[in-house]
Each structure stands twice: as C-alpha cells, then as structure tokens.
C-alpha cells in the first residue's frame, strides 16, 4: 500500500504524511550521533567519527563539522553529497548577504533561508528531499549564542541541547536530566562528550572517535571557531569520566 504514495515527494498518503520525507528523516536516524550543547559563553558541537580505511587520506572537509561562516558552525547527519551541496550553497548566501548588507547573516535568518530552500524540494514531483539534518551553532549581536537543528522537511527549532543520529533518543533523554541552565563552556564540553560516548556503538571509546568543535569569543572579544583535540580533548574525556563509565 505504501508504494502507491511514496513515488513522488508531493503525494500525501491517507494519513496526510509525505513518505519520501519520512524516509529521509529515517536515514538520518541511522547515521552516527551528533550532540549540540548551548552554554552561556559558547556552543559545543560533538560528533562521532566514522571508522575509515587506513588507506584513506582525509581532507579538511571529510568530517561531520563544518564552518558555514566566521560566526556559524554546523554539523551534518545523513547523505554526505546532499550536505556538501547545502553547505556550499549556505556559504555562498552568507557571502552574498555580507556583500549586499555589509553585515553578517543573523544565525536564525540563515537557518530560515536554508530551511525554506530544503522545504522547496518537498513540493515538486521532479525532486526529492535533501537527506540531511543540520545542527547550527552560532553567535550574533541580537540573540547571542544560539543552537538550531533542522530536518529534511525544512522544519527547524531552537534548542538548549539536542542530539541527532542513531543514538539520539537516549542522548536526548540524558541531556534533559543533566543539562543545567546557563552552564559554562567547559561544563557544556564535558556534558556533550559524556553523552556522545554513551551514544557510541563501542564500549571502548577513545579520543580518535571524537570530533568536537566550539564557537566562542577569544580574549579580544572576537568570535572564533576551533577544534578540541590533543591534550585538551584527553583532559575533557578524563573530566567526563568517559573511560571509567565504560569500564563498569
């Protein structure tokens, strides 16, 4: 019966659902976990690194976390090709907005712009939905630090903490109980790392399985994005008691 209603993205089934959109969302739920946590002085995005062949040569754009603009960081879950297209499209719109208005895109305005574009691909029978979910961490002068998440339908929401991927149900449950309002960036890092470790398939997580980036201000008050790696990452993992929890 379902095959009668899932051949085109614009065909609603008797329950009023677009099955092609639901298939795209289900694909995202099978991808590696991504955790986002909003802090008073920054935003943390943490993702599980997929295992690749030892012969593979990674590029700067081969992970799950990407720079959209100087003040916006995004994570992706789903079809990599769709994500690459939308990231390039979003970067182009950021630069066009900066050129035309002499100021960067407000975070929510960029999210709305990209979500409207994603939604348009659910309205024509000759196209398919983008099979990708974005989590946005950013800062602007109007609303400060922000965390958004969008799905293939073009729907989006603002969050204090959120998770996507195959471990998202348990991750969101943990975030609900352990997230504290107005937490510091370090506390957000520890929480995101702890929740991500519990969402992984392995019982022996190590630092190589974590991809973490933050967006915050430096000592001069400028917005920066940077990776958490090396000794800093090892210290965060120790503070989050990742290895101790997984030994039990």
- Helix (H, G, I), strand (E, B), or coil: what is residue 230? helix
Measure the CA angle with vertex 77, ends 75 and 78; round to 5°. Answer: 145
List the one residue out of 241, 150, 156 whose CA is nearest residue 191. 241
**63-76 per-position pLDDT tens digit:** 899 999 999 999 99
Q: Output b/e per residue, 178-188; b: 16+ Cβ within 10 A.
A: ebeeebebebb
Q: Looking at residue 240, what is its pLDDT? A: 83
Q: State which of 4-13, 119-128, 226-235 shows the largest mean pLDDT.
A: 226-235
| pLDDT > 50? residue 1 | no
Domains of the chain (ranges plus CATH)? Answer: 29-53+62-247 (3.60.20.10)
Contacts of 54 (CB under 8 A, 6+ apart): none
Residue 237 is given by DSSP the state H
Q: How far is CA 154 from CA 95, 109, 115, in A?
A: 22, 13, 4
**130-185 per-position pLDDT tens digit:** 999 999 999 999 999 999 999 999 999 999 999 999 889 999 999 999 999 999 99
Banded model confidence at residue 4, pLDDT cuts 50, 70, 90: low
**39-60 per-position pLDDT tens digit:** 999 999 999 987 777 777 766 5
- Helix (H, G, I), strand (E, B), or coil: what is residue 246? helix
For residue 238, what are the β-bridge partners? none
Q: Looking at residue 157, what is its pLDDT? A: 96
Q: Looking at residue 239, what is its pLDDT? A: 87
Q: Looking at residue 245, what is its pLDDT? A: 57
pTM of the model: 0.89
- Both tokens of 8, joined, read 């085109």
């Amino acid at each position: 019966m379902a095959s009668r209603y899932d051949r085109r993205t614009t065909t609603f089934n008797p329950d009023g659902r677009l099955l092609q959109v639901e298939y795209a969302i289900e694909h995202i739920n099978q991808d590696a976990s991504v955790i986002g946590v909003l802090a008073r002085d920054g935003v943390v995005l943490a993702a599980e690194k997929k295992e690749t062949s030892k012969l593979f040569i990674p590029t700067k754009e081969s992970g799950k976390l990407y720079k959209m603009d100087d003040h916006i960081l995004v994570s992706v879950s789903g079809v990599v090709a769709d994500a690459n297209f939308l990231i390039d499209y979003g970067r182009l719109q950021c630069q066009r907005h900066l050129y035309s208005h002499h100021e960067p895109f407000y975070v929510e305005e960029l999210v709305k712009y990209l979500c409207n574009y994603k939604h348009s691909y659910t309205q024509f029978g000759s196209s398919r939905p983008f099979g990708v979910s974005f989590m946005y961490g950013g800062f602007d002068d109007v609303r400060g630090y922000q965390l958004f998440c969008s799905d293939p339908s073009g729907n989006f929401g603002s969050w204090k903490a959120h998770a996507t991927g195959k471990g998202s149900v348990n991750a969101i449950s943990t975030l609900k109980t352990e997230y504290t309002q107005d937490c510091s960036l370090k506390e957000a890092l520890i929480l995101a790392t702890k929740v991500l470790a519990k969402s992984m398939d392995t019982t022996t997580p190590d630092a190589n399985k974590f991809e973490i980036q933050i967006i915050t201000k430096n000592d001069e008050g400028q917005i920066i994005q940077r990776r958490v790696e090396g000794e800093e990452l090892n210290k965060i993992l120790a503070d989050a008691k990742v290895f101790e929890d997984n030994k039990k």
